[in-house]
Amino acid sequence: MVNRSEIMNKVAQIFRDVFDDKELVVNDNTCANDIDDWDSIEHINLVLAIEKEFSIKFDMNEIARLKSVGEIVRAIELKLQ
């Protein structure tokens, strides 16, 4: 069973890689408005990186709901249960 903070750490690392910013700090409320480069292209890229990191696959409806880091982490938790 993976706990929430472990998931959060991995998600944060993905954000730092994708946006190439070692200092980047994210929390539950972080959303596209908070990160300049978080556009639709990078959003797709984030989803793919997350799916591969956790060996999960979101269906199309789930992906449509992933709007903030908190929602992403919750969606991962649900998949891993």
Partner 1 sequence: MKVLEYPFDNLYILRNKKSIKKELLQRGGFIKKRIAILSGSTIGDIKNILELFLLNHGIKPEFYVGQFNRFYEEAVFENVELERFNPEIIYIHTSNRNISVFPDVGDDVNACNNKLMQVYRYFENVWKSIQEKHKCIIIQNNFELLPYRVLGNADIYLDYGMNYFIQKLNEKFYEYARTNSNFFINDINYLSSWVGLEKWSDASYWHLYKYSLNMEYIPILCHNIANIIKSILGKNKKALILDLDNTLWGGVIGDDGVENIRLGYESPEGSAFLEFQKYIKKLGDIGVLLNICSKNEPEAAEAGFSHPSSVLNKSDFICFKANWDEKYVNVSEIVKELNIMSDSVIFIDDNPVERDSVRRFIPSIAVPELRNPENYINILDKSGYFEVTTLSEDDIKRAKNYKDNQARELFKTQFSDYSEYLQSLNMKCTVSGFQSKLIPRITQLINKTNQFNLTTKRYTQSEVEELLQDNSYITLCADLQDKFGDNGIVTAIIGKINGEILAIELWVMSCRVFKRNLEYAMFDEIVGICQKRNIRKLIGLYRPSGKNSLVKDFYKNLGFLLSYESDNECKWEYSVPKHYQNKNKVIEVFYGE
**Who's near 7: CB < 8 A, 6+ residues apart?**
54, 73, 76, 77, 80
Q: Which is nearer to partner 1, 1 or 41 (CB)?
A: 41
- Which one of the spans 2-10, 14-22, 24-32, 70-78 is the region binding partner 1 (CB under 8 A)? 14-22
Q: Could you say which DSSP state residue 68 is in?
A: B
Q: Which is nearer to partner 1, 1 or 39 (CB)?
A: 39
Contacts to partner 1 from residues 18-77, by CB under 8 A:
18-20, 40-41, 44-45, 48-49, 52, 59-60, 63-64
**Who's near 28: CB < 8 A, 6+ residues apart?**
68, 69, 70, 73
